[in-house]
Structure 1
Amino acid sequence: MWRNIASNAMTFLVVVVFLFGGLLLWAQNEYAAEGPLDQAICLQVDRGSNFSRVSGDLEGQGAITSGMIFRLGADYAEKSSQLKAGSYLVPEHASMSEITDIVTRGGASTCGTEVVYRIGVNSAEVQVRELDPAQGRYAEVLEFDPAEEAPAEYAAYRDDVGTRFRVALAEGVTSWQVVEELGQVDVLEGEIAEVPAEGTLAPDSYEVSRGDTRASLIERMENAQEVILAEAWQNRADDLPYDDPMEALTMASIVEKETGNAEERFLVASVFVNRIERGMRLQTDPTVIYGITGGEGVLGRGIRQSELRAETPYNTYVIDGLPPTPIANPGRASIEAALNPADSDYVYFVAKTLDPADGHNFATTLAEHNDNVAAYRRLEAERANQ
């Protein structure tokens, strides 16, 4: 009898182990299988949340077939303690394994509402955008000038716990402009003790959190520019007319202000390098303008002849070589162009049309350049007569 009992118990145990193994294999397959979502969704993970709440939300939105398997899978993958707050785009048919990775890897949020504080060369603006998960595109829902009174609905977007924030710096902004406009960003705190050295802030888009300090954001911008400049300096071309990286940064800022056409930055840089190597003055208007404004805003008028003749450290019609500092904060592309200019014989350039996006005509001789200038003047005259 005892032998039969032992035999039956062993059989039962084998069956249980077999069933458990099969159940485990099924659960693993379910965890890794294509999910039921037919359309992407935004998943909001609040601070202090846990996998139980997240799994309930995912079940409610039809993103997973089993909250229990989702939680067990996260436990088995040792990710249940790595949940990150944020708003995340969950793509269609994402598996439970993929969703676990999305909500635990961290980094910038990828879905929901965002407020972008844009600092441009000529203006600043605040944009409120929402991601349409089905289309995978942001739609602008609100825009205003930060110097003016914000629309009433802005506060609701700003104060929503799921909203994220970015500060976007355009290439060519001055450090003074950055400091002035950061003072208008109402989710940041604290003061900036002094205007950072010109050229030392990297134009980019920076994700910030409510309560971050302005000084800490400036430090991030400075650190980013240091890395960009150091890398470009390390990979620079031979025999450039710069004594140190700061001179290269100064050249990059001039290139940045002279052209918004990404394709011709390297050619513009070659013109200025060629002029220095031939003992010619740079004769570039943006440096003259910086000498007038000190980087504090836009000149808003043409340069006077008296200003072109004035002996200032930034008047490259009068001084030899580079001005003493950068005249703006150049982006990565202009820094790389200054340190790896195109191989050309050009020493002149002038705008092709009245639209800056159309780029420039380049010339190797003064006669050719004068022809290009004459063509440009004719365009100016035609517009004036319209």
Structure 2
Amino acid sequence: MGWTFLLLLAGLVIAAIAGFFAYGEFTAPGPLAEDKVFMVAPGQSVTEIGEVLQQNGIVSNGRIFALMAQATGQRARLKAGEYAFPKGATMAEVMALLASGKAVTYKISIPEGFTSQMAVDRVNANEVLTGDPAAVPPEGSILPDTYVFRRGMTRQKLVADMQAAQAKLLAELWAARKPVPVIETPEQAVTLASIVEKETAEADERPVIASVFINRLEKGMRLQSDPTIIYGIVGGKGRLDRPLTRADIDTATPYNTYRIKGLPPGPIANPGRAALEAVLNPEDTDKLYFVADGTGGHAFAATLEEHNRNVKNWRQIAGNAAAAAAADEGEADASAAPTPDATPPAAATPVPAPPGGNAAEAPLADVAPAPDGPAAQPPAAETAAPEPPPAAAEPAPAPTVVAVVPKPQAKPPQPVAAKPAAVALKPGTVLTIDGQATVIPRLRP
């Protein structure tokens, strides 16, 4: 009896000492020399978790980790996931982090105006997501936003979450809408919102632009929106890498709102919340036209006369911009004029005209369409960033390079033309200056 008691007492003492040392190690700074992100796989037992944590230098003793998880009641609360363990984290801190489930999160942003193809391309390119590539959902069914996810989420699940977010928002906004006769269904609202989204990047303009399109629909006028032409050409797969041409406007597609009446058959992008709100609660205006104002925004008009004045102002702004660009290019060429022994410079790069056409052309937004006018009328609205300008951008002519012919011997070089205006000399021309014949050299291609 005495020996049994002594053995039991000795065992308790040893256990107490072991527990004391185990607790000391449990609360002591851990072996991590720097912060570390580590994935705790799902389906592991607490013993297996302790082992992998020790193997990866996160805890000093996996067995003590497992025993303390059992003793503190945390065993069933440990969660799988990717965690960021701080430098020198104690075993107790590691266990608390796993029990909290606060795993590392990642973000992916889908900008407003992205097409479904562009959104899915971004999702499929993300290396943190798992699973097969996601399929492209219907246009307009994704809500542009920033989405937070954890490692292990599948691409299909993330796209499904984006669609669910759009459906939820649309239902809320539709229930609180201002009734508009020409917008009869939520699908029509998304279609018009996608056009508004592509027409302007200015948030405060969206309700006004929405009112312009709604007013035109109510009057039986064609929408004549350039972004719809672009979507009909590229089909939502990327951007058009050139300006629109008159041939584009004249080419019939289901989305070309210069040729069709009413809305196109579906959205041309994924509109954001602001564009949806603008269409479902548009401003009450009498505006029917808008054109770029040269500041990144638009000038709106209710009459053709007022609109044409706005177009004239825009044409002047565009012309001044083109002239300034040409002048800057000319100064650059003059500063690089060849010396007698230098190789003539290559022809200058053409300077593209600003949006809306070059200085010699009117923007396409010249004439307001009659309700039943011809399909190929000029547009009523300028294309907003990030789409290309609506007019066919004819490049401004390259500045003429004037050759400088040197005089013989010690006289300094003199220009060929004594007048202030430059005189263009064709390559191969023979000039005789001070009795010396000189051939104008050809420029390198």
> Is the 8 Å Cα contact of residues 166 and 207 (structure 1) preserved in structure 2?
yes
Offset of 1:279 from its aligned partner? 1.2
> Is the 8 Å Cα contact of residues 203 and 329 (structure 1) preserved in structure 2?
yes
> Aligned residue for 2:153?
212
From 133, 138, 163, give the equivalent of 1:191. 133
Q: Does 2:232 match 1:294?
A: no
Q: Does 2:311 match 1:369?
A: no
From 191, 195, 200, give the equivalent of 1:250. 191
- 1:270-309 to structure 2, matched below 5 A, reads 270-309=211-250
> Is the 8 Å Cα contact of residues 45 and 87 (structure 1) preserved in structure 2?
yes
Offset of 1:83 from its aligned partner? 7.3
Do the aligned partners of residues 353 and 106 (structure 1) sit closer, same or farther apart at CA in structure 2, a change above 3 Å counting? farther
Do the aligned partners of residues 238 and 210 (structure 1) sit closer, same or farther apart at CA in structure 2, a change above 3 Å counting? same
Q: Does 2:204 match 1:263?
A: yes
Offset of 1:212 from its aligned partner? 2.4
Q: Does 2:316 match 1:378?
A: yes
Letter in 2 for 1:205: T
> Aligned residue for 2:108?
167
> Aligned residue for 2:257?
316
Q: In 2, distance between residues paired with 1:319 and 1:328? A: 19
> Is the 8 Å Cα contact of residues 198 and 326 (structure 1) preserved in structure 2?
yes
> Is the 8 Å Cα contact of residues 108 and 207 (structure 1) preserved in structure 2?
no
Where 2:230 maps in the other structure, the secondary structure is helix
Letter in 2 for 1:192: A
Q: In 1, distance between residues paired with 2:124 and 2:315? A: 41
Do the aligned partners of residues 261 and 85 (structure 1) sit closer, same or farther apart at CA in structure 2, a change above 3 Å counting? same
**% of aligned pairs identical?**
44
Say which structure is richer in helix: 1
Letter in 2 for 1:359: G
Do the aligned partners of residues 46 and 211 (structure 1) sit closer, same or farther apart at CA in structure 2, a change above 3 Å counting? closer
Say which structure is richer in strand: 1
Which blocks of at least 5 consecutive residues in structure 2 are unaligned?
1-34, 51-68, 87-94, 326-445
> Is the 8 Å Cα contact of residues 200 and 206 (structure 2) preserved in structure 1?
yes
> Is the 8 Å Cα contact of residues 200 and 222 (structure 1) preserved in structure 2?
yes
From 149, 154, 175, give the equivalent of 1:234. 175
Letter in 2 for 1:280: M
Do the aligned partners of residues 283 and 104 (structure 1) sit closer, same or farther apart at CA in structure 2, a change above 3 Å counting? farther
Do the aligned partners of residues 42 and 234 (structure 1) sit closer, same or farther apart at CA in structure 2, a change above 3 Å counting? farther
Where 1:183 maps in the other structure, the secondary structure is helix
> Aligned residue for 2:349?
none
Which blocks of at least 5 consecutive residues in structure 1 are unaligned?
1-40, 53-70, 91-99, 111-164
> Is the 8 Å Cα contact of residues 49 and 85 (structure 1) preserved in structure 2?
no
Post-superposition CA distance 1:33-76 (Å, at most 9, x none): xxxxxxxx9999977899x9xxxxxxxxxxxxxxxxxx9xx98x
Where 2:125 maps in the other structure, the secondary structure is coil
Do the aligned partners of residues 257 and 49 (structure 1) sit closer, same or farther apart at CA in structure 2, a change above 3 Å counting? farther
Post-superposition CA distance 1:332-356 (Å, at most 9, x none): 11111111101111111112215xx
Do the aligned partners of residues 107 and 334 (structure 1) sit closer, same or farther apart at CA in structure 2, a change above 3 Å counting? farther
Offset of 1:103 from its aligned partner? 8.9
Where 1:222 maps in the other structure, the secondary structure is helix
Post-superposition CA distance 1:265-324 (Å, at most 9, x none): 111111111111111111110001100110111101111111111222111111111000
Displacement over 4 Å in runs of 4+ = 41-50, 82-88, 100-110
Do the aligned partners of residues 209 and 321 (structure 1) sit closer, same or farther apart at CA in structure 2, a change above 3 Å counting? same
> Is the 8 Å Cα contact of residues 280 and 320 (structure 1) preserved in structure 2?
yes
Offset of 1:170 from its aligned partner? 0.3
Q: In 2, distance between residues paired with 1:366 and 1:103? A: 67
Offset of 1:372 from its aligned partner? 1.1
Do the aligned partners of residues 350 and 45 (structure 1) sit closer, same or farther apart at CA in structure 2, a change above 3 Å counting? same
Q: In 2, distance between residues paired with 1:367 and 1:42? A: 67
Q: Does 2:277 match 1:336?
A: yes
Q: In 2, distance between residues paired with 1:82 and 1:211? A: 17
For the pair shown, which has the larger CA radius of gyration, 1 or 2? 2
Q: In 2, distance between residues paired with 1:350 and 1:107? A: 51
TM-score by length of 1: 0.59
Do the aligned partners of residues 102 and 353 (structure 1) sit closer, same or farther apart at CA in structure 2, a change above 3 Å counting? farther
> Aligned residue for 1:150?
none
**Aligned length in residues:** 269
Offset of 1:191 from its aligned partner? 2.2
Do the aligned partners of residues 213 and 349 (structure 1) sit closer, same or farther apart at CA in structure 2, a change above 3 Å counting? same
> Is the 8 Å Cα contact of residues 84 and 105 (structure 1) preserved in structure 2?
no
